[in-house]
Amino acid sequence: MLVINDLHVKLEEEDKQILKGVNLTVEPGKVHAIMGPNGSGKSTLSYVLSGKGGYEVTQGSATLEDAELLDMDAEERAAAGLFLAFQYPVEIPGVGNMTFLRTAVNAQRKARGEVEMSAGEFLKVIREKAKSLKIDAEMLKRPVNVGFSGGEKKRNEILQMAMLEPKMCILDETDSGLDVDAMKLVAEGVNALRTEDRGFLVITHYQRLLDHIIPDFVHIMSDGRIVKTGGPELALEIEHNGYGDILAEVA
């Protein structure tokens, strides 16, 4: 599904290398978790994959179902099935949440040559999905993320993911800022989307999210590289011992 090969990325404006050769393959139906110390490059990887400006790929490639991601505009990547749940969802005053999501859903459908969703159908589907994430209708009417609490913003990301039904979902610290109950809701939302043909890349600092979304693989990122890969037990190990031992071992 997603194949990242020897990806090197630096900042466009400065001479600062952030990703220093990332290799990672996510097969359909699998959940990969990425953990790693602050500043190791996890968010950068998610941004570069989804097409944010300000970065320069100096080496390597990334493909989604064999399509070269790095050549596409951000909106093309989305239409191709990539989704990023942001670590810091953006507030957009003046753009209604509903308008935004319907525009997005239909823009993607249009780009893929599919029929657009009618207003009625859209309303029905979003109400249903919002309800299961305990997002009330009032919130949907508000401008995108404006005045949302930290946890509400994260749930709104998952709602968008549920509406857009991407093939490859990247979740960047979706658990941060969530209370215990909200985390369960979010995890249920994610698990509901776990199908044989969908891949997940879950960036997190904490084992507790992985209690709910059980990963197939856990990767440790450090200084712009994936330095260790293992199963769910690797997350537990980090929970108990921190990164010190592992980083010393691979150094």
Ligand X SMILES: Nc1ncnc2c1ncn2[C@@H]1O[C@H](COP(=O)(O)OP(=O)(O)OP(=O)(O)O)[C@@H](O)[C@H]1O
Identified binder of ligand X from the candidate list 18, 69, 158, 170, rule CB under 6 A = 18
Identified binder of ligand X from the candidate list 6, 27, 39, 192, rule CB under 6 A = 39
| Nearer residue to other proteins within complex by CB, 18 or 85 | 85
As a whole number of angstroms, the longest Cα–Cα distance in the chain is 57
Identified binder of other proteins from the candidate list 3, 5, 61, 100, rule CB under 8 A = 100
Residue 38: contacted member of other proteins, Mg ion, ligand X, none (CB under 5 to 8 Å, by partner type): ligand X
| Nearer residue to ligand X within complex by CB, 74 or 125 | 74
Q: List CB contacts of 120: < 8 A, sequence separation 6 or more.
A: none
Shortest reach from residue 43's CB to ligand X, in Å: 3
Q: Using alpha carbons, select from 185, 180, 152, 157 the residue that is nearest to residue 169.
A: 157
Identified binder of ligand X from the candidate list 2, 10, 30, 44, rule CB under 6 A = 44
Shortest reach from residue 173's CB to Mg ion, in Å: 6
Tell me which residues in 107-126 interact with Mg ion (CB under 5 A). Answer: none
Identified binder of other proteins from the candidate list 79, 168, 190, 234, rule CB under 8 A = 79
- Of the chain, the end-to-end C-alpha distance in Å amounts to 30
Q: Using alpha carbons, select from 2, 3, 4 the residue that is nearest to residue 19.
A: 4
Tell me which residues in 130-159 interact with other proteins (CB under 8 A). Answer: 143-144
Q: Residues in the site for Mg ion, rule: CB under 5 A?
A: 42-43, 87
